Structure 1
């Protein structure tokens, strides 16, 4: 596999730390005004002991490098983060196709109100805003938006 070729696959235990590092880099790049509520070590522990072993976690891998991560918990898209250098290359679209294939009856997700690029991405993929909050229920205490996607009727 060359650097331009990217494989999407289910995450393995050995991917957890690299996936966490993608999450950390992406969060810092995409959300510079949002305070990360947890330390890097806490995020790595969460990936290694919760997300990868307990949820449907997917990674995008080139050669032996994780460049993207997506986490599903049933019909909720819990996480979708790409290494900043890999944004704009179609990986998000590929992850979204996997999410919709895995949950063909519909998906929900939350994103921060400050994340305009994520909102445009999800709306482009057919998600609609169904709820806005003041952020009291998330760890960052940032206003957020719940989005939902339902497949079109045949």
Structure 2
């Protein structure tokens, strides 16, 4: 599938190391006060053993290089990361559109201090539905749960889910 000059495809196990690198670069760029939380080996393990085993992962490529990744599980966006140099070029929106095509509702978590991510999600129809003090996430960082529903679908009751560090 192609969008705005990007090639978007389902990721395979062989892509997980590259997905981990995209995650770390984007996370550390957006949240420098949390940089270094995990080692590169831990990131690779997380993508190979946890994300690949439990999620559907899509990647956005510019040529052969992976520039963005989205991990989906049920109606949750578990991860959405775009390399800093590829941001503001439609990569994140294209990946989010893939997720929206397959469901009537999506949820995700993002940190309250990540104003850029919050603006990105809100501009794409997500609304904040819950705020926490961060005591339930690994980073101990206050976060927000966002919900998107297809325009012709009512929002249903909140339910518990995994955290996303977008």
TM-score (norm 2): 0.86
CA distance in 2, matches of 1:11, 1:140: 27
- Equivalent position of 1:73 in the other structure: 73
Structure 2 stretches of 5 or more lacking a match? 154-166
Offset, 1:38: 2.4
The RMSD of aligned alpha carbons is: 1.5
Residue 132 of structure 1 pairs with residue 136 of structure 2: no
Match of 2:95 in 1: 95
> How many pairs are equivalent?
150
Higher mean C-alpha deviation, range 111-120 or range 36-45: 36-45
How far the C-alpha of 1:15 sits from its partner, in A, is 0.4
Question: 1:64-87 CA deviation, whole Å, 9 max, x = no partner?
Answer: 211100000110001100011100
Deviation sequence 1:21-51 (CA, Å, 0-9, x none):
0000000111112355322211110101121
- CA distance in 2 between partners of 1:112 and 1:36 (Å): 17
Flag structure 1 segments of 5+ consecutive residues without an equivalent.
Answer: none
Q: Is the 8 A contact 2:71 2:80 kept in 1?
A: yes
Cα offset, 1:5, TM superposition: 3.3
